[in-house]
Amino acid sequence: MSIQEFLQHMANGTSLGSLYALIAIGYTLVYGILRLINFAHGEIFMLGAYIAYYGIIFTPLPWWLVFILASVLTGLVGLLLEKLAYKPLRSSPRITILISAIGASFLLQNLSILVFGGRPKAFPSPDILNGILNIRGVSVASISIIIPIVTIILLVILTFLIKKTKTGMAMRALSKDYEAASLMGIDINKVISFTFFIGSFLAAVGGIMWGVKYPQLVPHMGMMPGLKCFIAAVIGGIGNITGAVIGGFILGLGEIMLIAFLPTLTGYRDAFAFILLIVILLIKPTGLMGEKIAEKV
């Protein structure tokens, strides 16, 4: 393999990895606070892409404004989802909440088949994003470079939000000890809503960029990326944002490199994530960056 080809695969892997990272952060945030696998996160991702699609088709607004509005709107959908499907179950056993999350995911998927139709739609991505850059013989789609940049910008903002603001502090407190945080006067509902908003917002950004990169929308498009991003979050150590980013990159790069170096295994592309997950869980049950969980007796 020539060095150009290798760099090309690296660029592809990085952009896919940063997409995964973006979505994995949503899982990690929610899990850190509620100890809940938000199975419907992949469907939020799909909704983000669809809302952006309809925004571009039906409104005269410029594409960047549509993308931002669509992400905010999807964030609100995520907030609503939490209110309807998770809040009533907050004191129930975890299995019940997990089942509710799977149910919400199926409901959203079927609802979007009903509303958007089951036929694939072509995402009207703006021409600026679709150009192909040629840097010293390495041709890369410009979106492959834009995605990591957007991811890094959002990550910086998120880190600032969590480390420096009061809400961020409340989020950290809540993830450490739920009960104690509420005793200290933190408005738990507000913090949880905020977390869901942020997570869904990031998923929507991921969904829109996915739509630009792979311009085809179908109602079940969120399923596989959703699962893989959850795996990315687990590999990195769920509840840990740095871990989610690392996990996302490992998964994205690994997947692309697997196809690049072993083309005969292309059919097993989707299995790669699961095998990696199981191997890592067996070696380090809490993920690469995860904290050790003490056994309560």
> Residues interacting with other proteins, by CB under 8 A?
35, 37, 84-85, 88-89, 91-96, 98-100, 102-104, 106-107, 110-111, 113-114, 118, 223, 227, 230-231, 234, 267-268, 270-271, 273-275, 277-278, 281-282, 285, 295-297
- Give the span between the Cα atoms of 20 and 273, in whole angstroms: 12
- Give the span between the Cα atoms of 161 and 260, in whole angstroms: 38
CB atoms < 10 A from the CB of 120, how many?
Answer: 12
At 197, list the tokens: 């908003």
- Give the span between the Cα atoms of 251 and 67, in whole angstroms: 26
CB atoms < 10 A from the CB of 1, how many?
Answer: 9
What DSSP letter does each residue of 2-26 carry, written as one string? -HHHHHHHHHHHHHHHHHHHHHHHH
Using the structure block, give the residue that is written with the tokens 């998120």: 158
Which amino acid does the sequence have at 12?
N
- Give the span between the Cα atoms of 79 and 240, in whole angstroms: 21
Q: How many CA atoms lie within 13 A of 285 on its CB side?
A: 3
At 105, list the tokens: 């995911």
Instruction: Kindly give, in sequence order, each residue whose CB lies less than 8 Å from that of residue 54, ignoring residues fewer than 6 positions away.
Output: none
- Give the span between the Cα atoms of 243 and 271, in whole angstroms: 21
Inter-axis angle of helices 223-236 and 241-261, to 10 degrees?
120
At 12, list the tokens: 């592809």
3-class secondary-structure state, position 74:
helix
